[in-house]
C-alpha cells in the first residue's frame, strides 16, 4: 500500500543497518537525572520505519522499577478497574473503563508521592528484605509497570460470564472453588504459550506490535523534557490540548446528541422505503452514505486506525468493499438461504417464521440437555445473511492464517528455532535488553504451565464435573491454543488485527460433544481466552522491550496483576449474584432495576445455540448452512497465489503487502461491528496513514500516536464523568429526536419476503371497520402454536384511508340514516375489524401460519417493529 519495508514476509538473519543519524536527536529520552546508556555506541538498525521514528534507542538501567509506588498504585488501579468493569458490566447500560484512564491519573499521584513521602527504609518483618517509601523522582519505568497492572484490570474475564450463566440464567449451583479455579486458570494458562513463543514474537524486530507505538509515544510525551519549538507545541502540550478537546466534545455524542454516532442521509430522504434504509443504515444495513462524528464510533470496535499500518488498512478496505457492497447485496436480493425472511443485518438467531428463536423450547430444564423432540417440532436455527457470511469469513480467515504463516514465515521460524539458543537474532532494542538485563528463565513459564494444567483438570473433573467438560476436552482446548498462538500472534504483531479463535473452538467442541452448553463455553474459554491472554502477555513484553523494562520485573507485574484482577472480577461477580435478587432476569426485577445483564444474555443464547443445538444443526448435514464450510478450503488456498507471485516478482514490494488473513477476515466483524464503524475507521485511517504520512511526515512522526492516545483518554474520562454524575441517576437530558442512540433507519430491520394474510375469527367490533380481503380463503390452521414467536411482516401505512374512514363515521354520526342505508346495513355481514386494544392477526410465509406484528388503530400505543409513524393504520400487503 505504498509503504516499502513496513512488513517483510521473510526475516533475514542479518538485519540491514540503515543510517538514521538524522533521527537520533528526536529519539532521546529523559533519564530522570541519570545518563542514558547506549545513546552513542548503538545504531538504530530496526527494519520497521515506524519503530525507528518512534522508539528511542537509549536506556538508563539505574532507574528503580519495582518500587513501593509501583506496587501501591499498580495494585490499586488494577483492583479499581476490575471492580468497576465487572460491577457496571451487569447493568442495563454497561460502562467500560479502559487502562488509559488509570495511565493518566497515576502520573500526578506518583509525582505527589515522590514529593511528600518520607525517604524512609522499611524492613519487612521476619525477612531480610526492606524497601524505601520514596526511592527518588517518579520515573518512566514505574509508570510503565503501573500501566501493565491497569491493563490486567481492564481486560474482561470471560470465565466470569460462565459463572453468571450457570447461576443467573440456568439457576444451577456452582461450587465456589470450581468457579475460582476456572477464573484463575483460564487467565493464567496463556503464560505458558507466551513463554514458548517469546523468541519469535518479542525478540524478532519484524514482530513490531503497532498498537504499542501509541503507548510509547504517550509515555514519551508525559516524561520527556522537551523545549517548545517556535510557533508550535511540545508533545505534552499537544497531548493536553487534544485531551481537553476530546473530553469537552464527547459530552455531545455521549449525552446531548447520541444520534451523531450514526447518521444516514439516505434514511432521511427515503423515510418509507425498506430497501433504501437497508442500503443506507449504518447500524442495521450496508451503511452507504452513513457517517459519525464520534471518536468512540471510529475506534471503539476495530481499534484506533491511527495505530494500524497503512497496508493493513488497505487490506481491510478491499475486504469491506467486496463483502458489504458485492457479496451481501447479491446474496440477499437473490434470496440465498431464504435471506429475505430476516433482516439483512442482525446478530440475532431466528426461527423459520422470522421470529426470534425461543431457546427454552429446545432445552430440557431438568437434565440440562438438548430436547430433540422440542427441536423437531419447533424450528431450525436461522441467521441473517450478514451473520451467515461473517461466520464464513471467520472460517476462511483462520485457515488463511495458518496457510499464510506457514508459507511466508515457515522457513524463518525454523531458522530462528535453530539459532535461538545462539542469540543471533535481534536489532538495537534486543541488544540493549540483553546487555543491561537478565532474561526470564524459561522454566518459570513451564512451571506455571504445568501448575495451571493440573488445576484446570481439577476444576473440570472435580466437584461433580459441574462444568460438563471432561479431561480430554481440556487437553484438546489447550492444544488448539498452542497451535494457533504463533500464527495469530504473527498476524497481530504485524497488522494490529487479531483473528478470532472462538469460532473454531465452538465449532469443534460442538461437533465432538454436542448437547452440553457449559462444556462448550468452558472449552471455548480454555482454548480462545488462553490464546488471547498469551497475545496480551506478548504484547506487554514487547512494550517492555521498547521501554527497556527489566524482563523479570515485567513478568512479576503481569503475574501479580493477573491474579489480582481475576480475584476481583470473581469476587465482585459472586457478591452481586448472591445479593441482588433476580439479577439478570428483567421479567422478575423491579421496574427500573438496572441489573439486566445485557452482555451475559447474549453469551447465554450463544451457549444454547452452539452448546445445545450445536453446529451439526447449523453448519453440518442437519443444518441450513452446510456450504459455508467451503470457506475453510478457500482460506487455506487463498495465500498461495500471493506467495507464488511474491517469489516470482520479488522486486514488486506491494505484492508482499497483500495479507490474505486480513483481506478475507477484515470485514468479518459484522454484524457485531456495524457498517458505520467500518466506514469511519477506514476514512480516518486512510487520511492519517496515507495522506498525512506522505505529505506531512514530520508532523506524523511527532503527533500521530499521541493524537490517538489523547482522543482515547478524553473519551474515557468524559464517559466516566457523565455516568457517575448524570446517567447513573437517570438524568438523561432534553427529550428530542437526537437523543436516540440510533441512526433513524427503522425500516432497515424489516424483512422483505412476501407474505399472505390469513383470516382469523373476527374480534369484538370497534370503531374502525376493515374490509376482509381474504374472504373465501382457507381458515387458519387450528394446530398453529398460539405462543409462536412473533414475526415481522412487510407493512404499509394506510393513514389516509384511516382518516377517510374516521371522517365518514363522523358524517354518519351527525346525519340520520336513510331507509335504504338501514336496509343495506341489515343485509351486510359484519366487517372484520381491529380492536381498540393491541391485537395479533396472523399471516403465512411459505405456507406456515404465524403471528404478525401487533396492529393498532389511530393514536393507539403498540409495538412498532418496522418503524411506521404514530397515527398510521397498518395493513398487510398481498404480494
- Where do we find the cell 403471528? 851
Residue range 656-690, pLDDT digits in tens: 999 999 999 999 989 988 999 999 999 999 999 99
Q: What is the C-alpha separation between 22 and 49, in angstroms, rounded?
A: 13
Q: How far is CA 402 from the centre of its chain?
A: 23
- Label residue 775 by pLDDT band (50, 70, 90): very low
Q: What is the pLDDT of residue 404?
A: 95
Q: Which residues contact 450 (CB under 8 A, 6 or more apart)?
A: none
Residue 304: closest CA among 689, 662, 659, 6? 689
Cβ atoms of 511 and 521 within 8 Å: the answer is no
- 606 neighbors 391 (Cβ within 8 angstroms): no
Which residues have a Cβ under 8 Å from the Cβ of 729 and sit 6 or more positions away?
none
| Cβ-Cβ contacts under 8 Å for 293 (sequence gap 6 or more) | 253, 260, 261, 263
Higher pLDDT residue, 607 or 184?
A: 184
Residue of 355, 356, 348, 425 lying closest to 388 (CA atoms): 348
pLDDT beyond 90 at 242:
yes
State yes or no: pLDDT of 29 exceeds 70: no
Biggest CA–CA distance in the chain, Å, is 113
Task: Give the cell for residue 713.
Answer: 483518554
User: How confident is residue 420, by pLDDT bands cut at 50, 70 and 90?
Assistant: low
Phi then psi dihedrals of residue 874, to 5 deg = -90, 150
Residue range 67-94, pLDDT digits in tens:
999 999 999 999 999 999 999 889 876 7
816 forms beta bridges with none
Interval 173-196: pLDDT, tens: 899 999 999 999 999 999 999 999
Which residue matches cell numbers 469469513?
A: 393
Q: What average pLDDT does the chain have? A: 81
Calculate what percentage of the chain has a pLDDT beyond 70: 80
Q: Phi then psi for 714, rounded to 5 degrees?
A: -60, -45
Angle between helices 176-188 and 530-547 (to 10 degrees): 50
Q: Please tell me the distance from the alpha carbon of residue 775 to that of residue 766, in angstroms, as a whole number.
A: 20
pLDDT at 852 over 80: no
Binned at pLDDT 50, 70 and 90, residue 771 comes out as: very low
Find out whether 600 and 90 touch, Cβ atoms under 8 Å.
yes
In a 3-state reduction of DSSP, which class is residue 37?
strand
pLDDT at 432 over 80: yes
Q: How many H-runs (helices) and E-runs (strands) does the chain carry?
A: 36, 15
What's the CA gap between 375 and 450, in Å, rounded? 42
Is a pLDDT exceeding 80 seen at residue 294?
yes
pLDDT of residue 82: 95
Is residue 796 helix, strand or coil? strand
More confident residue, 550 or 773: 550
Give the pLDDT mean for 406-415.
86
Give the confidence band of 443 by pLDDT, cuts at 50, 70, 90.
Answer: very high
The whole-number average pLDDT for the span 189-212 is 92
The answer to whether residue 779 scores a pLDDT higher than 80 is no
Are 513 and 473 in contact by the 8 Å Cβ rule? The answer is yes
Reported residue count of the chain is 879
pLDDT band at 31 (very low <50, low <70, confident <90, very high): very low
User: Is residue 671 reached through a cis peptide bond, with omega within 30 degrees of 0 on the bond before it?
Assistant: yes
Comparing 2-11, 212-221, 433-442, 456-465, which segment has the lowest mean pLDDT? 2-11
Contact 85, 157 (CB under 8 A): no
Q: Where are the domains of the chain?
A: 239-382+670-712+721-739, 756-876
More confident residue, 879 or 730: 730
Q: How far apart are CA 673 and CA 200, in angstroms?
A: 31
Instruction: State yes or no: pLDDT of 437 exceeds 80.
Output: yes
Q: Which pLDDT value is given to residue 423? A: 58
* Other CB atoms within 10 Å distance of the CB of residue 73: 26
Q: How confident is the model at residue 794 (pLDDT cuts 50, 70, 90)?
A: very low
- ∠ CA 509-512-513, nearest 5°, is 75
Cell of 335: 434470496
* pLDDT for the residue 354: 87
- Mapped onto helix, strand or coil, the DSSP state of residue 368 is coil
DSSP for 408-436 reads HHHHHHHHHHHHGGGT----HHHHHHHHH
Q: What is the predicted pLDDT for the residue at 683?
A: 97
Q: Which residues of 89-118 are buried (b: 16+ CB within 10 A; e: fewer)?
A: bbbeebbebbbbbbbbbbbebbeebbeeee
Please provide the distance, in angstroms rounded to a whole number, between the alpha carbons at the two ends of the chain: 49
Q: What is the rounded distance in angstroms from the CA atom of residue 783 to the CA atom of residue 254?
A: 49
Query: Could you give the dihedral angle defined by the CA atoms of residues 320, 325, 329 and 330, in that order, rounded to the nearest 10 degrees?
Result: -100
Q: What is the pLDDT of residue 601?
A: 84
pLDDT of the residue at 92:
77
pLDDT value at 95 more than 80? no
- Cα 275 to Cα 267: distance, rounded to the nearest angstrom: 10
Please tell me what DSSP assigns to residue 792: -
Whole-angstrom Cα distance, residue 74 to residue 52? 30
pLDDT category at 424 given cuts 50, 70, 90 is low
- Residue 262: count other Cβ atoms within 10 Å of its Cβ: 30
Q: How confident is the model at residue 842 (pLDDT cuts 50, 70, 90)?
A: very low
479-499 per-position pLDDT tens digit: 999 999 999 999 999 999 888
- Kindly give the pairing relationship between strand 290-291 and strand 842-845: unpaired
pLDDT tier at 419 (50, 70, 90 boundaries)?
Answer: low
The rounded distance, in Å, linking the Cα atoms of 338 and 254 is 38
Rama region for 730: left / alpha / beta (φ>0; ψ in -120 to 50; rest): left
Which of 703 and 96 is assigned the larger pLDDT? 703
- Take residue 441 and report the three cell numbers written for it: 528463565
Whether residue 781 contacts residue 859, with contact meaning beta carbons closer than 8 Å, is answered with no
DSSP string across 678-704: HHHHHHHHHIIIIIIHHH-HHHHHHHH
Instruction: Give phi and psi for 496, each to the nearest 5.
Output: 65, 20
Residue 402 to residue 390: CA distance in whole angstroms? 19
pLDDT computed for residue 355 by the predictor: 87
Pairing of strands 769-770, 832-833: antiparallel
User: Per the structure block, which three cell numbers stand in for 636?
Assistant: 487455506
Query: Given pLDDT bands bounded at 50, 70 and 90, which one contains residue 638?
Result: very high
Cα-only R_g, the chain: 30
Beta strands 842-845 and 848-851 are: antiparallel
Query: What is the rounded average pLDDT of the residues 632-639?
Result: 96
Residue 639 confidence (pLDDT) above 70: yes
Residue 180 pLDDT: 96
**pLDDT confidence of residue 790:** 39
Neighbours of 58 (CB within 10 A): 20
Amino acid at each position: 500500500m505504498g509503504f516499502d519495508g513496513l512488513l517483510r514476509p521473510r526475516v533475514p538473519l542479518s538485519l540491514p543497518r540503515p543510517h538514521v543519524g538524522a533521527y537520533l536527536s528526536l529519539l532521546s529520552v529523559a533519564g530522570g537525572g541519570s545518563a542514558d546508556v547506549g545513546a552513542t555506541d548503538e545504531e538504530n538498525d530496526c527494519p520497521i520505519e515506524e519503530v525507528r521514528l518512534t522508539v528511542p534507542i537509549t536506556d538508563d538501567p539505574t532507574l528503580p522499577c519495582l518500587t513501593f509506588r509501583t506496587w501501591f498504585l499498580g495494585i490499586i488501579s488494577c483492583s479499581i478497574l476490575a471492580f468497576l468493569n465487572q460491577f457496571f458490566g451487569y447493568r442495563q447500560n454497561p460502562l467500560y473503563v479502559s487502562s488509559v484512564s488509570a495511565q493518566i491519573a497515576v502520573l500526578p499521584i506518583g509525582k505527589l508521592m515522590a514529593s511528600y513521602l518520607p525517604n524512609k527504609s522499611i524492613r519487612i518483618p521476619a525477612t531480610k528484605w526492606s524497601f524505601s517509601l520514596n526511592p527518588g523522582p517518579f520515573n518512566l519505568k514505574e509508570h510503565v509497570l503501573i500501566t501493565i497492572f491497569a491493563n490486567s484490570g481492564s481486560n474482561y474475564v470471560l470465565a466470569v460470564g460462565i459463572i453468571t450463566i450457570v447461576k443467573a440464567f440456568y439457576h444451577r449451583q456452582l461450587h465456589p472453588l470450581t468457579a475460582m479455579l476456572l477464573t484463575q486458570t483460564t487467565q493464567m494458562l496463556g503464560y505458558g504459550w507466551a513463554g514458548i513463543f517469546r523468541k519469535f514474537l518479542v525478540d524478532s524486530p519484524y514482530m513490531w506490535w503497532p498498537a504499542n507505538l501509541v503507548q510509547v509515544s504517550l509515555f514519551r510525551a508525559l516524561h520527556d523534557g522537551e523545549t517548545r519549538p517556535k510557533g508550535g507545541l511540545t508533545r505534552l502540550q499537544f497531548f493536553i490540548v487534544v485531551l481537553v478537546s476530546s473530553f469537552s466534545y464527547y459530552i455531545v455524542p455521549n449525552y446531548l446528541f447520541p444520534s451523531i454516532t450514526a447518521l444516514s442521509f439516505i434514511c432521511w430522504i427515503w423515510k418509507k422505503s425498506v430497501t433504501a434504509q437497508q442500503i443506507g443504515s449504518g447500524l442495521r444495513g450496508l451503511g452507504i452514505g452513513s457517517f459519525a462524528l464520534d471518536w468512540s464510533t471510529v475506534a471503539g470496535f476495530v481499534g484506533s486506525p491511527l495505530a494500524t499500518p497503512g497496508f493493513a488498512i488497505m487490506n481491510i478496505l478491499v475486504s469491506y468493499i467486496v463483502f458489504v457492497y458485492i457479496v451481501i447485496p447479491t446474496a440477499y436480493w437473490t434470496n440465498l438461504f431464504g435471506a429475505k425472511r430476516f433482516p439483512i443485518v442482525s446478530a440475532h438467531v431466528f426461527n423459520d417464521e422470522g421470529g426470534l428463536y425461543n431457546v427454552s423450547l429446545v432445552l430440557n430444564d431438568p437434565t440440562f440437555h438438548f430436547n430433540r423432540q422440542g427441536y423437531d417440532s419447533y424450528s431450525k436455527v436461522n441467521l441473517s445473511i450478514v451473520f451467515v457470511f461473517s461466520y464464513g469469513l471467520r472460517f476462511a480467515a483462520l485457515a488463511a492464517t495458518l496457510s499464510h504463516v506457514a508459507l511466508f514465515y515457515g522457513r524463518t521460524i525454523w531458522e530462528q528455532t535453530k539459532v535461538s539458543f545462539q542469540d543471533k537474532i535481534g536489532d538495537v532494542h534486543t541488544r540493549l535488553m540483553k546487555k543491561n538485563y537478565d532474561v526470564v528463565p524459561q522454566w518459570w513459564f513451564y512451571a506455571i504451565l504445568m501448575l495451571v494444567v493440573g488445576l484446570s483438570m481439577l476444576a473440570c473433573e472435580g466437584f461433580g464435573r459441574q462444568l460438563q467438560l471432561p479431561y480430554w476436552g481440556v487437553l484438546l482446548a489447550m492444544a488448539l491454543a498452542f497451535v494457533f498462538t504463533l500464527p495469530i500472534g504473527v498476524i497481530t504483531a504485524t497488522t494490529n488485527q487479531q483473528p478470532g479463535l472462538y469460532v473454531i473452538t465452538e465449532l469443534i467442541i460442538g461437533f465432538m460433544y454436542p448437547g452440553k452448553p457449559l462444556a462448550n463455553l468452558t472449552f471455548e474459554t480454555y482454548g480462545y481466552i488462553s490464546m488471547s491472554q498469551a497475545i496480551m502477555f506478548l504484547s506487554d513484553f514487547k512494550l517492555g522491550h521498547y521501554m527497556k523494562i527489566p524482563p523479570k520485573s515485567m513478568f512479576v507485574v503481569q503475574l501479580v496483576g493477573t491474579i489480582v484482577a481475576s480475584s476481583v472480577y470473581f469476587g465482585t461477580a459472586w457478591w452481586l449474584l448472591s445479593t441482588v435478587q433476580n439479577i439478570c432476569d428483567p421479567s422478575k426485577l423491579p421496574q427500573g432495576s438496572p441489573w439486566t445483564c445485557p452482555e451475559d444474555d447474549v453469551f447465554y443464547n450463544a451457549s444454547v445455540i452452539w452448546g445445545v443445538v450445536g453446529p451439526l444443526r447449523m453448519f453440518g448435514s442437519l443444518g441450513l448452512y452446510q456450504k459455508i464450510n467451503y470457506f475453510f478450503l478457500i482460506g487455506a488456498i487463498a495465500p498461495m497465489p500471493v506467495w507464488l507471485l511474491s517469489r516470482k516478482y520479488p522486486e514488486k514490494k506491494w505484492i508482499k503487502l497483500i495479507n490474505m488473513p486480513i483481506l478475507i477476515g477484515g470485514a468479518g466483524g459484522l454484524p457485531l461491528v456495524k457498517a458505520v464503524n467500518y466506514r469511519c475507521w477506514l476514512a480516518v485511517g486512510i487520511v492519517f496513514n496515507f495522506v498525512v504520512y506522505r505529505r506531512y511526515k514530520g508532523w506524523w512522526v511527532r503527533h500521530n500516536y499521541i493524537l490517538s492516545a489523547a482522543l482515547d483518554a478524553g473519551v474515557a474520562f468524559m464517559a466516566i464523568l457523565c455516568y457517575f454524575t448524570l446517567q447513573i441517576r437517570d438524568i438523561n437530558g432534553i427529550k428530542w429526536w437526537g437523543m436516540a442512540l440510533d441512526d433513524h433507519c427503522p425500516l432497515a430491520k424489516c424483512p422483505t419476503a412476501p407474505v399472505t394474510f390469513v383470516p382469523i375469527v373476527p374480534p369484538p367490533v370497534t370503531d374502525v371497520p376493515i374490509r376482509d380481503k381474504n374472504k373465501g380463503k382457507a381458515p387458519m390452521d387450528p394446530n398453529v402454536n398460539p405462543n409462536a414467536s412473533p414475526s415481522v411482516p412487510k407493512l404499509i401505512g394506510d393513514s389516509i384511508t384511516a382518516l377517510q374512514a374516521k371522517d365518514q363515521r363522523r358524517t354518519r354520526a351527525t346525519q340520520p340514516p336513510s331507509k335504504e342505508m338501514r336496509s343495506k346495513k341489515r343485509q351486510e355481514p359484519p366487517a372484520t375489524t381491529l380492536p381498540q386494544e393491541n391485537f395479533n392477526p396472523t399471516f403465512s410465509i411459505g405456507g406456515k401460519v404465524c403471528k404478525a406484528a401487533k396492529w393498532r388503530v389511530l393514536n393507539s400505543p403498540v409495538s412498532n417493529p418496522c418503524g411506521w409513524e404514530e397515527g398510521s393504520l397498518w395493513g398487510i400487503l398481498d404480494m
